[in-house]
């Protein structure tokens, strides 16, 4: 049963003029009569139309799932897509400029390990992001629901691809802000990272709600979210300082460390500890113990570096990638049982 979105509505142009999506197209022929200084804004607004998807072109089918800030539908727009409709509490909290700015940066992302961003829709007070539909399952489903075991070698291959995608994002100046196993798909062995950079859009829509739920009501805390937060983020989680959490490339690297731990151990760090205890410990620099972890020293070293208390001591993704690429070679020397597979991953 297909539920078509409201056809009477039109997308608001995100070029800032407030016109509808067809408005202004007719006078684009005037471009060459304009003073050179006036051409750039017009060209920018034209290029923005590429990702400004009118609601009436979009079909929404069943709900795939509901996350913290929105509902994801299977949809259709020139083929199968995923449509994330962000729930916004009221009209006046729609951060149009922030949305416009952030979505403009997603449009520039082209990488094998990143979900394909196709466009955005806006019908106040609703915002929607359209991406390619990921096949396969998330790492979260593999690790925590299906309890699939990732060998060290497979973990390394997955981590290398995450580092590649994240290194690309960072080189483009985009901070993910919500790197977690629920946002990493595995499609026939290929990693696809989703939901980059969306956190601040949703954060603006939700205002203080997020942190109130974190501090005030343990049940309001999304399971397995806190363990991705670097110490500087945990310390910033106060009821009054929620809008400016100090996300950075280094907080993404910390989150990657948690993903690396989940891959290797099959569970979250600080498993079954109450949120208050996790916030307090991480904020003070306490790390999940690795004493019971069955892994080589160099694998644990990566974890400890990513989880460094001081952000400046955490490696960046290109560095992580080269460290990870060296691991299989070392393991190969010890265990020559899968030489073809390993040498390929090490050289790629
Ligand atoms: P979360 O990431 O916290 O699970 P989301 O709102 O991002 O919450 O996702 C809700 C559901 O939709 C999840 O089951 C997620 O796997 C799925 N989903 C999100 N994006 C896509 C996509 N591009 N393709 C397929 N499924 C997706
Ligand atoms: Mg997600």
Task: Indicate which residue's Cα is closest to atom 15 of ligand 1.
Answer: 65
pLDDT recorded at residue 41 = 45
Task: Indicate which residue's Cα is closest to atom 3 of ligand 1.
Answer: 67
H-run or E-run covering 4: strand 3-4
pLDDT recorded at residue 123 = 66
Active-site residue among 178, 252, 316, 347? 178
pTM over 0.95: no
- Rounded to whole angstroms, how far apart are CA atoms 233 and 285? 12
pLDDT 10s digits, 52-111: 788 788 899 999 998 877 899 999 999 999 999 887 665 555 466 777 777 887 888 999
**Ligand 1 atom nearest 183 alpha carbon:** 2
What is Dmax (Cα atoms) for the chain? 71
Nearest to 200 by CA among 178, 221, 220: 178
Nearest to 181 by CA among 117, 237, 225: 225
Question: What DSSP designation does 83 have?
Answer: E
Cis peptide before 218 (omega within 30 of 0): no
> What are the E-state strand segments in 21-140?
59-66, 70-76, 80-86, 117-123, 126-132, 137-138
Q: How far is residue 32 from each of residues 15, 22, 27, 38, 269, measured CA to CA in Å?
A: 20, 20, 11, 10, 59
Q: What is the DSSP string of 269-337?
A: TTTT--HHHHHHHHHHT-----TT----HHHHHHHHHHT-SSGGGSPPHHHHHHHHHHHHHHHHHH-TT
- Rounded to whole angstroms, how far apart are CA atoms 18 and 163? 39
Give the residues surrounding ligand 1 with Cβ less than 6 Å away. Answer: 64-65, 67-68, 70, 72, 82, 84, 115, 131, 133-134, 138, 182-183, 194-195
Buried b / exposed e over 257-269, threshold 16 CB at 10 Å, is: bbbbbbbbbeebb
Q: Distance, CA 346 to ligand 1 centroid (Å)?
A: 31
- Rounded to whole angstroms, how far apart are CA atoms 134 and 49? 24
Q: Distance, CA 330 to ligand 1 centroid (Å)?
A: 36
pLDDT recorded at residue 268 = 95
Q: Distance, CA 78 to ligand 2 centroid (Å)?
A: 22
State whether ipTM is beyond 0.95.
yes
**Ligand 1 atom nearest 134 alpha carbon:** 24
Task: Indicate which residue's Cα is closest to atom 26 of ligand 1.
Answer: 134
- Rounded to whole angstroms, how far apart are CA atoms 265 and 331? 18
Consecutive 10-residue averages of pLDDT for the chain (348 residues)? 35 30 33 42 47 83 88 95 80 63 83 95 77 96 97 95 98 94 97 86 50 41 81 82 79 98 96 90 94 92 97 98 83 45 35
Cβ-in-10-Å burial (0-12, 13-18, 19+) of 273 comes to middle
Nearest to 137 by CA among 178, 181, 176: 181
Task: Indicate which residue's Cα is closest to atom 11 of ligand 1.
Answer: 65
| Residue 108: count of CB within 10 angstroms of its CB | 10
Q: Distance, CA 184 to ligand 2 centroid (Å)?
A: 8
Helix (H, G, I), strand (E, B) or coil at 140: helix
Decide if 178 is catalytic: yes
Pocket test for ligand 1, best of 64, 128, 206 (most atoms within 8 A of CB): 64
pLDDT 10s digits, 265-290: 999 999 988 988 999 999 999 999 99
Whether residue 157 contacts residue 168, with contact meaning beta carbons closer than 8 Å, is answered with no
């Amino acid at each position: 049963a297909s539920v078509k979105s409201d056809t009477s509505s039109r997308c608001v142009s995100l070029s800032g003029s407030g016109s509808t999506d067809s408005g202004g197209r007719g006078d684009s022929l005037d471009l060459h009569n304009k003073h050179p200084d006036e051409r750039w804004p017009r060209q920018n607004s034209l290029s923005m139309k590429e990702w400004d998807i009118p609601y009436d072109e979009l079909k929404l089918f069943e709900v795939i799932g509901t996350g913290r800030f929105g509902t994801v539908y299977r949809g259709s727009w020139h083929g199968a897509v995923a449509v994330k409709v962000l729930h916004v509490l009221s009209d006046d909290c729609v951060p149009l400029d922030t949305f416009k700015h952030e979505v403009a940066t997603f449009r520039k992302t082209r990488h094998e390990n990143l979900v394909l961003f196709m466009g955005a829709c806006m019908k106040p007070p609703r915002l929607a992001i359209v991406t390619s539909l990921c096949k396969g399952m998330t790492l979260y489903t593999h690790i925590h629901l299906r309890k699939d075991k990732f060998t060290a070698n497979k973990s390394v291959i997955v981590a290398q691809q995450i580092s590649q995608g994240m290194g690309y994002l960072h080189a483009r100046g985009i901070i993910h802000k919500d790197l977690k196993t629920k946002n990493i798909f595995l499609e026939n062995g290929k990693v696809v990272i989703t939901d980059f950079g969306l956190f601040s859009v949703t954060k603006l829509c939700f205002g203080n709600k997020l942190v109130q739920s974190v501090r005030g009501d343990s049940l309001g805390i999304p399971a397995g979210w806190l363990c991705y937060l670097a110490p500087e983020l945990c310390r910033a989680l106060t009821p009054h300082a929620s809008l400016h959490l100090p996300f950075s490339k280094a907080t993404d690297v910390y989150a990657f460390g948690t993903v690396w731990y989940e891959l290797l151990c099959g569970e979250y760090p600080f498993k079954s500890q109450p949120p208050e205890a996790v916030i307090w410990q991480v904020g003070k620099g306490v790390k999940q113990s690795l004493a019971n972890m069955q892994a080589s020293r160099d694998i644990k070293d990566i974890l400890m570096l990513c989880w460094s208390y001081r952000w400046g001591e955490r490696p960046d993704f290109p560095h992580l990638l080269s460290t990870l690429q060296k691991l299989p070679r070392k393991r190969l020397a010890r265990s020559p049982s899968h030489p073809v597979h390993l040498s390929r991953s090490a050289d790629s």
